[in-house]
Structure 1
């Protein structure tokens, strides 16, 4: 083998190794990207066209924590993420969705607020929203419009139950 052939093979090997390494890192980033699942999504029937709330459970089964950073809908141009602390509701820029955990958006706690509704949905209607996250892909969710007094029931836990 000549020196030139050896250099050409070494360069080809280096290029192949670099491509393989970069390919592996891209796929591991994709594998680490959180994937969100939503359950129990609903909106109590609004009293008027001024505001409405949305409630749901956002589940993150991945090993990467994420943040809910925004919500959009055709029902309103002004959707806000709110949290309730010390019995006071306040707008926040984002809410944490822990790795292998969930974010509960519920009455009396964190939730989504629609301000200035373009129409007033009735019980039985569906309202579509898109949840935006810092890392995960956006998720489209259909909110079932429920009676104003409706409250979602928490799933029964079997942990720690007596036999």
Structure 2
């Protein structure tokens, strides 16, 4: 190899390294932008009057990527499902969409979390730990404060 060939080869290798690093960094920033930015607020559980209970909360997505709530788990019950209410009838659903820049509102009289076969009845003032499982954002732990049976944040 002569000097000219060596210099050209080194320049080509340096250019490839710079290009690879640039692509890797671009991939990292794309992944950061692709993840939803979820915030949970207004979480509560009305005081259960039977072996069933409802859970309510708001999930706000400040990110540029949509997500889905796919499952809810809790030590309070082995049978926790998510329900949509349509035409005053509730039905179990597989997931709830959370649009980019939007929110999911689980509220009384509407879509909600359903706890069946409670292992124990929480008292007013207790907090019920739940895990919200999202398709892209992963698992988020939330405490649902137990409020009086008639509590409705829209009226307080």
Both proteins in one fold, TM over 0.5: yes
Taking a change above 3 Å as real, the CA distance of residues 92 and 153 of structure 1, as seen in their structure-2 partners, is same
Q: How far off is 1:72 after superposition?
A: 1.2
1:152 alignment partner, SS class: coil
Match of 1:42 in 2: 44
Match of 1:129 in 2: 130
Match of 2:86 in 1: 85
Alpha-carbon distance in structure 2 between the residues aligned to 1:24 and 1:136: 20
Q: Where has structure 1 moved over 2 Å in runs of 4 or more? A: none
Alpha-carbon distance in structure 2 between the residues aligned to 1:110 and 1:80: 11
Q: How far off is 1:70 after superposition?
A: 1.0
Whether 1:147 and 2:151 are equivalent positions in the alignment is no
CA contact (8 A) 1:35 1:137 kept: no
2:54 alignment partner, SS class: strand
Which structure 1 segments of 5+ residues have no match? 156-163
2:138 alignment partner, SS class: coil
The root-mean-square deviation of aligned C-alpha atoms, in Å, is: 1.6
Deviations 1:53-111 (A, max 9, x none): 10011111112111111111111122111101111111111001111111110111110
Instruction: Choose the corresponding residue for 2:24, options 10, 13, 22.
Output: 22
TM-score (norm 2): 0.91
Match of 2:6 in 1: 4
